[in-house]
Amino acid sequence: MFILNPHASVPIYQQLIDQVRRLVAGGQLLPGAELPSVREMAHEHTVHPMTISKAYSLLESEGLLERHRGKPMRVAALRRNQSSVAAKLRQIEPQLEALALAARQLELSDEEVIAQLRKNLGEKS
Amino acid sequence: MSESAVSIQALHWAIKGRSVLQGITTEVRPGDVVGVIGKNGAGKTTLLETMLGFSPPASGSARIFGEDCRNLSEAVKMRIGFVPQQDELLPTLTGTHQISLTSSFYSTWDSALVDRLAREWEVPLDRRANVLSGGERQKLSTLLALGNRPDLLVLDEPVASLDPLARRRFLQQLLEVAGDAQRAVIFSTHIVSDLERVANRIWIIKDGRLLWDGETDNLKQSVRRLHIRARRPLPSELGLRGVLSSRRAPDNMTATVTVRDLGEADLQAAAARMEAHIESEGLGLEDIFLEIHA
Amino acid sequence: MKTVLRIAQGFCWSIIPLQSWIVLLGAVFLLGAMGFGAFEQEPQDIHIYAMVGMAGAIIIAFVPALSGGAALRFASSRSMLHLRPRGRATMLSASMLAITALAALIALPVLLGQFATQSAGFAPIPRSPLPAHVFAVSWSVMALLWGIVFVASGSRAFSFLAILPIFIVPPLLIHSSQAALDLPGPFTWFLLALAFWLLFTVWYMRADAFRTPRWFGDRSSQNFESTPAGMVSSLLDFSRSALSPQRAGSLLLLGASSPLRYAITNTVWLAVIFLFFAVMGTGSARARAGRVPGMEFVLVFGATLGAQLAYMSARRARLLWLRAGSDRMSLFAMAERNGLAATLWSLLLTAAIVGCFTLLRAPDFARSLLLFAAAQLPAWVAAYYCGMSLTRTPNLIDVCLCIGLVLLFFVQMVFVQPKVDVSSLQLSLAAAFWLGLSILLRALAKRRWRALDWRIARLTFPSQRTG
């Protein structure tokens, strides 16, 4: 379900947080869905359990996950501000940054990029 | 958990007038997995062995579970597991005999665990140690250190001779130990990618000093590589703090600078001052290590 | 050529740890004898100095003679010579060079003695051997030993069995037919040895591959477990289900699970050496005078076994640091208990063997032998504590200590001899002296152990394979 790269420059817990946010905002993780336990995740990806539990704790304080004693972490019930456009846009912020960087390096003009982007978005819908 | 597992204060170690450890002060708490990295000869092994009391320090102190390393009580020694860099297996004893010899010293020996690991790690227990390969000897040494379920596990380059599969299995077992919040692990290695997975704290030793002592995540967020593209020639002094390394292009219009602990505000100010566009790139641990030693 | 020189130097200097110190010790005797002998005028005195110098040279040649063959095998293994062109020829040339040089070194003092005698105008000393003879015999013995040890160290069983004949068969032959030695003179031996070496060369150059030495191989001949006896001992140890911490501690410190067991197997060596000397020396002048040849040597120099044991156990104690004892002093006490017991058992067993031999051969000797052995007890203890003090990389003080101790042994051998009418006073004085020395050395050892640094004092167990 999650892709964690320990060798990336982004810390593992941050990668996990970003992915959970994206999946929840995008609807792939529905409210009430259970996430793997800390032990399972740590074992599967061979990472320190503390990293996973740090991510879970931060997500819990954000309100995205809820903890039930004796049971795995669950996605919290949907709240209004989670589905706001601004929050969703925050999810694709990294991709937009990367796009902007590439565009600048290739010295493409803003209009050219937006036109291409429209085409890509057009293909989707 | 107020008691720290290891507490080191201003530790100095010297041999023949040459100072090997210079004033190291740090701490390890239960639940930590500390990765120690440094160039060959930086003092990693010296630090670990001095900390455990094999070698009296020139000055300063190291305390394990509150006791001075020169006078560890039997109770504390029972809680320590150590895998040295050069294995100390008696050459003519088989694995089984090594295990039974080592286990006779400990009252909390877990034979089931040792047997299970020996099977999983494919360690031949019926051959004498001097006919085992280097990797098998390392695995056996590690087994012997894990057998008494130590609260402090210290490993000095435990995976240097292991193939990737064996390394992965070892790391998984290490995480089992780490999962228990009462136990601490300190291990030194050259294989930086393993640390990224498993260690939550990193010690970087350079020339006998502790260059970095903090969380892995913080280290990654603190060291960044800046790509500077300016519209006019760059000044000779870039005016950035915490520079680890820098390279300029021949035309003096672009430069790559690795910095540590540079705040966002300072970054913007520098960009404005140089009339340059600055991209900030995060680095993996191996690149950070290389930059620090550039 | 430089490679050959370097390898030959390696044979003479660094086959086993502490070899360099043994060489230095021999050099002290050799150079000292030559230096002092240069001032002597009397042929008798010159002869004595020549003999002492020869003894020094023999000390230097001792280790290469006995282990050069195994070192050659180690260096000729596939992994070592794999990429070297003409590797084997180089190795062989280096061996030949070492043997010849050492034989020449042994003959040198005798040569100089002859020269000094003749230049002083005296006739050559009748009993003094000719330098050429000395060279021939030394060369032959070393060449033969080199080749035999090379062959023998190829297989464990063979090497153990082969060592025995070297010590047992020749003395028996010699004893049974005294004339046998005179028949082939030194030059016949030389020719025989030369022929042997030629055959050996041919075989060596044409053989496919050599296995690494099985017995001497990993330079751990200082480790008890590697000896065949040690391995048998290990089997016995682990046949029970659990080791007590005490036995485990003994196993780690000594290599055997009890001091007695260690002493038994170690003493076998001493016994073999003793029997060799004793049988070789029967019929000699000293035996006719009622003394058992080889007895002093074994009873006095056997103490160095205790020193070696102590040296080893200081290093092996590293294995116990995290496992037992609370501080270095309690580890010292543990090592002392085990080590002293092993040393004293060794002395006891050695004295018993020597005593039995004496009872058979020269019964009126037995009493003085007993007294002599008893007087050696504190000497062995002193040697043990000397070994325990060597906790650092040897510096000048340590070397002086060791050389001093060996010199004291020599002095004792000269002045306190186990004759039939040995004086009790002499023995008591000697014993008291050794006792005092032991107390001092023990204090030194304790002080050194207090600051024992196991990053410096460590044994290495080199692995034989890299996987």
B291 and A CB contact within 8 Å? no
Q: How do A65-66 and A74-75 pair as beta strands?
A: antiparallel
Report the length, in residues, of chain B. Answer: 294
pLDDT per residue, tens digit, chain B (294 aa), is 457 889 999 999 988 888 899 999 999 999 889 999 998 888 899 999 999 999 999 999 999 999 999 989 989 999 999 999 888 888 778 899 889 889 988 988 999 999 999 999 999 999 888 788 888 999 999 999 999 999 999 999 988 888 889 888 888 888 888 777 789 999 998 888 888 888 989 999 998 999 889 998 888 888 889 998 888 888 888 778 888 888 888 888 888 888 888 888 888 888 888 888 888 888 888 888 888 887
* pLDDT given for residue C166 in this prediction: 52
Tokens standing for B42? 């930086």
Q: Distance from A123 to chain B by nearest Cα, in Å?
A: 31
Interface size A-B, in CB pairs within 8 Å, comes to 57
Q: CB-based contacts of C217: which residues, under 8 Å, 6+ apart?
A: C70, C74, C153, C464
Across A3-17, B128-142, C120-134, C364-378, least confident range: C120-134
pLDDT (average), residues C332-342? 93
Name the residue in chain B with its Cα closest to that of C229: B92
* pLDDT given for residue C466 in this prediction: 30
Nearest CA among B62, B67, B60 for reference residue B27: B62
* pLDDT given for residue C174 in this prediction: 47
Interchain proximity A10–B31, CB inside 8 Å: no
Measured CA to CA, the distance from residue C152 to residue C213 in angstroms comes to: 9
Q: Distance from B31 to chain A by nearest Cα, in Å?
A: 9
Measured CA to CA, the distance from residue C193 to residue C206 in angstroms comes to: 20
A11 and B CB contact within 8 Å? yes
% of chain C surpassing 90 pLDDT: 16
Higher pLDDT, C466 or A47: A47
The pLDDT tens digits of the residues spanning C190-247 come to 888 899 999 999 988 888 777 777 654 333 334 555 555 566 666 666 665 567 888 8
Mark residue C439 as left, alpha or beta (left: phi above 0; alpha: psi -120 to 50; beta: remaining). alpha
* pLDDT given for residue C214 in this prediction: 63
Kindly list the residues from chain B whose CB atom is less than 8 angstroms away from the CB atom of residue A47: 175, 197-198
CB B205 within 8 A of CB B38: yes
Helix (H) or strand (E) run with residue C140 in it: helix C131-152
Q: Distance from B170 to chain A by nearest Cα, in Å?
A: 10
* pLDDT given for residue C125 in this prediction: 62
Higher pLDDT, B250 or C85: B250
Interchain proximity A47–B197, CB inside 8 Å: yes
- Find chains touching chain A: ≥3 CB pairs under 8 Å: B
The pLDDT tens digits of the residues spanning C1-13 come to 888 888 888 888 8
B172 and A CB contact within 8 Å? yes
DSSP A33: P
Interchain proximity B101–C251, CB inside 8 Å: yes
Name the residue in chain B with its Cα closest to that of C243: B104
Q: Is the pLDDT of residue C179 over 50?
A: no
C vs A contact (3+ beta-carbon pairs below 8 A): no
CB B223 within 8 A of CB B260: yes
What Rg do the C-alpha atoms of chain C give, in angstroms?
A: 23
* pLDDT given for residue B1 in this prediction: 44
* pLDDT given for residue C103 in this prediction: 92
CB C421 within 8 A of CB C290: no
Kindly list the residues from chain B whose CB atom is less than 8 angstroms away from the CB atom of residue A101: 279
* pLDDT given for residue C51 in this prediction: 83
C397 and B CB contact within 8 Å? no
Tokens standing for B3? 């008691």
Give me the residue from C252, C323, C461 closest to B91, CB to CB.
C461
Interchain proximity B74–C238, CB inside 8 Å: no
Kindly list the residues from chain B whose CB atom is less than 8 angstroms away from the CB atom of residue C255: 90
Give me the residue from B46, B71, B131 closest to C465, CB to CB.
B131
pLDDT (average), residues C355-376? 81
The pLDDT tens digits of the residues spanning C401-436 come to 888 888 888 788 777 776 767 778 888 888 999 999
Kindly list the residues from chain C whose CB atom is less than 8 angstroms away from the CB atom of residue B132: 463, 465, 467
* pLDDT given for residue C467 in this prediction: 26
Kindly list the residues from chain B whose CB atom is less than 8 angstroms away from the CB atom of residue C464: 130-131
pLDDT (average), residues C252-270? 79
Give me the residue from A11, A12, A49 closest to B178, CB to CB.
A49
Name the residue in chain C with its Cα closest to that of B48: C455
B82 and C CB contact within 8 Å? yes
Interchain proximity C225–B91, CB inside 8 Å: yes
List the single best residue of B50, B54, B165 to mutate versus C (max C Cβ within 10 A). Answer: B54
B51 and C CB contact within 8 Å? no
Interchain proximity C463–B137, CB inside 8 Å: yes
3-state SS, B265-283, equals: HHHHHHHHHHCEEEEEEEC
Across C88-92, C366-370, C453-457, least confident range: C366-370
Name the residue in chain A with its Cα closest to that of B218: A11
Q: Is the pLDDT of residue A68 over 50?
A: yes
* pLDDT given for residue C3 in this prediction: 83
* pLDDT given for residue B283 in this prediction: 87
Give me the residue from A12, A13, A49 closest to B179, CB to CB.
A49
Nearest CA among B19, B86, B12 for reference residue B51: B12
Q: Is the pLDDT of residue C180 over 50?
A: no
Q: Distance from B136 to chain C by nearest Cα, in Å?
A: 8
B171 and A CB contact within 8 Å? yes
* pLDDT given for residue C242 in this prediction: 66
B77 and C CB contact within 8 Å? yes
Furthest-apart CA pair in chain B: how many Å? Answer: 73
* pLDDT given for residue C178 in this prediction: 44
CA distances C146 to B22, B281, C141, C197, C368, Å, are 50, 66, 8, 9, 39
- Find chains touching chain C: ≥3 CB pairs under 8 Å: B
Return the percent helix, strand and coil in chain B, to nearest 5: 35, 30, 35
C246 and B CB contact within 8 Å? no
Give me the residue from B82, B86, B133 closest to C465, CB to CB.
B133
pLDDT (average), residues A73-93? 70
* pLDDT given for residue C220 in this prediction: 38
b/e C53-64 (16+ beta carbons within 10 angstroms → b): bbbbbbbbbebb
Q: Distance from B78 to chain C by nearest Cα, in Å?
A: 7
pLDDT (average), residues A106-123? 87
The pLDDT tens digits of the residues spanning C271-319 come to 776 776 676 666 555 555 555 666 666 777 778 878 888 988 898 899 8
B93 and C CB contact within 8 Å? yes
Measured CA to CA, the distance from residue B291 to residue C61 in angstroms comes to: 55
The interface predicted TM-score of the complex, written ipTM, equals 0.85
The pLDDT tens digits of the residues spanning C143-164 come to 988 888 888 777 665 555 555 5
3-state SS, C18-61, equals: CHHHHHHHHHHHHHHHHHHHCCCCCHHHHHHHHHHHHHHHHHHH
Interchain proximity A49–B281, CB inside 8 Å: no
- pTM for the full model? 0.73
Interface size B-C, in CB pairs within 8 Å, comes to 106
* pLDDT given for residue C230 in this prediction: 61
A 10 A CB-CB count for C446 gives 17
Interchain proximity C238–B137, CB inside 8 Å: no
H helices then E strands: how many in chain A? 6, 2
* pLDDT given for residue C216 in this prediction: 43
Give B 261-280 residues with CB within 8 A of chain A. 277, 279
Q: Is the pLDDT of residue C392 over 60?
A: yes
Kindly list the residues from chain C whose CB atom is less than 8 angstroms away from the CB atom of residue B161: 467
Kindly list the residues from chain B whose CB atom is less than 8 angstroms away from the CB atom of residue A49: 175, 178-179
* pLDDT given for residue B155 in this prediction: 94
